[in-house]
Structure 1
Amino acid sequence: MRLSRSFTLPLLLATPFWLVACSQADAPAAPADAAPPPMSAAAGPSETPDDPIVAPSPNEPTAPFVPADAAQAPPAESGPNAPADAAAPGTGDARGRIERVLGDADQYETVFKALQQGVAGDDRAAVAALMRYPLRVDTGGSKREVPDAATFQREYERIITAPVARAISAQSFDTVFANQQGVMIGNGQAWLNGTCLDKACSRTDVKVVALQE
């Protein structure tokens, strides 16, 4: 059958559209459980900074360790209950550091010097009076709490062992390490911290809160 010229031209023009429609209709549908395309790195959740760390007040000697600023922070395992060789030495700015994070550095220095003098003179009653009870002790391979000054004096030689006494005697106050947990003597052989005596914490009572080898 011959088509007239007037009918042939529209038919030729329409042919490409029919072919496109047929190819789309014949294309297989994507399976319902097909995985979505991978997300780019930019599409992931944005990182947010850690919550700011709030330093405990001086009347919290048993508060968890809070890292100091990076220049002065000891390794993560330091603190009153950590091994004695786990912490780094102080950096020489002890008084300024204590004033910033703990309060009156003079009180800490007074207790520090009294502890040194008492240990050097084997004045057991004087040393016992510088402790906060119950006192955490980790010496001679035994972890325990000393309940009072009388017990401390009876067990003095088991508590103020040779390594503890050497660390206390050799330490200079200008180089003690200090963070929100207290003032560290040696490599952790002794820790000092203060308890607030009023609501404003304008007055504190500084004592030794832990001893360990």
Structure 2
Amino acid sequence: MRTTTFLIPALLLAACSQPAPPAAPAADVPPPMTGATPAKAAASTTPDAAAAGEGDARARIDTVLGETAQYEKVFNAFKAAVVGGDRAAVVEQVRFPLNVTDGKKITGPGEFQRNYEKIITPAVVKAMSGQDFGKVFVNQQGVMIGDGQVWLTGECLDTACARSEVKVSTIQ
């Protein structure tokens, strides 16, 4: 009985100190940013942090993902490139492999350019042109544009995640 009494608090303490394993992402949703801090992950589970259309996206990005300026910079550059039809500038904002419709992946810039019209569809152009950065949907997986046509995600560039890079990770 004493072993059980001491074992339960120890197990609970151990369970609380370990990060939860990531859930398997759906085919149409990008994976979460690698190396996200536990504080950011905990903040992302609050209803207010992920609520679409409530408050300013900049505050939600700062709370959930950090690096708000990077997300806004990539958003603005990608939007201008897509709406302006600047293929080279579009590719500059994309992370490869790029997730596209039906769980497929585009492996590099050449493949992207060959399939440009299939990837940057009129629906993607419409979503980008109609999206205000202050009203994007934000959760621990990234920034969603439109109804999920485009996702921006961050990727850690070092083990401490002191440096990260935001790019377009999904276009569907």
TM bucket, shorter chain:
0.7 to 0.9
Taking the aligned partners of 1:196 and 1:71, their CA distance within structure 2 comes to: 25
Taking the aligned partners of 2:60 and 2:20, their CA distance within structure 1 comes to: 16
Partner of 2:33: 58
Alignment of 1:5-24 (within 5 A): none
Selected match of 1:118 from 67, 78, 81? 81
Alignment of 1:160-175 (within 5 A): 160-175=120-135
Instruction: Compute the displacement of 1:72 (Å).
Output: 5.3
Q: Looking at both structures, which has the greater relative contact order when contacts are Cα pairs under 8 Å and sequence separation is at least 6?
A: 2
Q: 2:127 corresponds to which letter in structure 1?
A: A
Partner of 1:201: 161
3-state secondary structure, aligned to 2:104: strand
- Count of residues paired in the alignment: 143
Partner of 1:93: 56
Taking the aligned partners of 2:140 and 2:96, their CA distance within structure 1 comes to: 20
Taking the aligned partners of 1:55 and 1:100, their CA distance within structure 2 comes to: 21
Taking the aligned partners of 1:123 and 1:59, their CA distance within structure 2 comes to: 29
Instruction: Compute the displacement of 1:154 (Å).
Output: 1.2
Instruction: Compute the displacement of 1:93 (Å).
Output: 1.8
Alignment of 1:17-166 (within 5 A): 58-59=33-34, 68-71=45-48, 73=50, 89-138=52-101, 142-166=102-126
Identity %: 48
Partner of 2:4: none
Contact 1:111–1:207 (8 Å) recurs in 2: yes
Larger radius of gyration between Structure 1 and Structure 2 = 1
Taking the aligned partners of 1:104 and 1:55, their CA distance within structure 2 comes to: 24
Instruction: Compute the displacement of 1:92 (Å).
Output: 3.2
Flag the 1:101–1:55 CA change in 2: closer, same or farther, 3 A.
farther
Q: 1:94 corresponds to which letter in structure 2?
A: A
Contact 1:137–1:210 (8 Å) recurs in 2: yes
Flag the 1:167–1:55 CA change in 2: closer, same or farther, 3 A.
farther
Selected match of 2:136 from 157, 162, 176? 176
Unaligned runs of 5+ in 2: 1-14, 23-31, 37-41
3-state secondary structure, aligned to 2:167: strand
Instruction: Compute the displacement of 1:145 (Å).
Output: 0.7
Taking the aligned partners of 2:45 and 2:21, their CA distance within structure 1 comes to: 10
Selected match of 1:189 from 118, 125, 149? 149
Flag the 1:73–1:95 CA change in 2: closer, same or farther, 3 A.
closer
Which structure carries more helix by proportion?
Answer: 2
Taking the aligned partners of 2:53 and 2:49, their CA distance within structure 1 comes to: 7
CA RMSD of aligned residues (A): 2.8
Instruction: Compute the displacement of 1:100 (Å).
Output: 1.2
Taking the aligned partners of 1:198 and 1:71, their CA distance within structure 2 comes to: 30
Q: Runs (4+) of structure 1 moved beyond 6 Å? A: none
Flag the 1:54–1:93 CA change in 2: closer, same or farther, 3 A.
farther
Taking the aligned partners of 2:109 and 2:47, their CA distance within structure 1 comes to: 38
Unaligned runs of 5+ in 1: 1-50, 75-88
Taking the aligned partners of 2:49 and 2:129, their CA distance within structure 1 comes to: 23
